[in-house]
Every structure is written in C-alpha cells, then in structure tokens.
Amino acid sequence: MRMIDIGQKKVTERKATVEAVVKTKAKVIELIKKGKVPKGNVIEAAKLSAIMAAKKTPDILALCHPIAIETVEVDFKIQKDSIKISTFVKGDTKTGVEMEAFTAASVAALTVYDMCKSLDRGMTINQIRLMKKSGGKSGTYTRLRNK
C-alpha cells in the first residue's frame, strides 16, 4: 500500500458531484418536511454533517490526500418515500475531490438515518454514486441519468 505521489501534477480546478438516496416511509418524510422529527431538523443536521465530513475526508480514508476545499454544497430533493442527497465539492488542487463528495453524501445519508431510525429501522441508503467530475488529466466524466 502506498499514497500516490502527486508532486508533479498541476493544480487545476477540480469538481465532483455525488448522489445518495435514503428510502423511508412516507410518514417519516412528512415528519421531516414538517420539522416534527424528535431529534430536530433532519435536513440542516445532514447538511452540516456533510460539510464537516468532506473537510475530514483524509482523516478517515486511508491514503487520501489532504486538500484545500473551496466549497461544499449539499442539496436535498424530498420525494414521497425518499430523499435524494446531492453533494458538490470544488477545489483548486493537484488531485480530485471525488472522495470528499462521496464522504459528504454518505455522511449526510447516515445522518438522516440516525435522526430517523426511531421512526423507521427499515430505511435504506442506496445509489451512492459519482454523477459528474471534472478537472485534472482525466478530464470530465458525466454519468448517464438512467445508469
């Protein structure tokens, strides 16, 4: 095992978007929308947790380079029986920001689960996947929506 040497790479603007989906009961979604979950505001807690997680990615993923993150954005699309979480990370750096976006999306989903587990232990976290990345030598990747 080794950390990849990025010393000779050029600093470029790096961007990554990752999505995750939390499936739960419609009644839990209604409680989230109304702000009636016993632990508090699920969306705000998940957003803050996601931002904090992105910043701590190198502390929890072996061999992940510490990098300067310029922005972390977290959006939630609340549907009838699910919440789609989308995280966007950007930074001018020598290596990609995908892992920070993945960590943010994963921790946001875990936060939703933690705050709502007393209401639905059967919740699932699904489809944590890279939607788009850009920057660096490998260029741009965009996932087709239906895949």
* Residues noted as catalytic: 114
Strand (E) or helix (H) holding 127: strand 124-134
In order of 14, 32, 61, 85, 126, the CA distances from 129 in angstroms are 17, 24, 17, 11, 9
- What helix, strand, coil percent values describe the chain, rounded to 5? 30, 30, 40
In whole angstroms, what is the distance from residue 90 CA to residue 137 CA? 16
Beta strands of 24-102 (E only): which ranges?
71-78, 82-93
Residues constituting the chain: 147
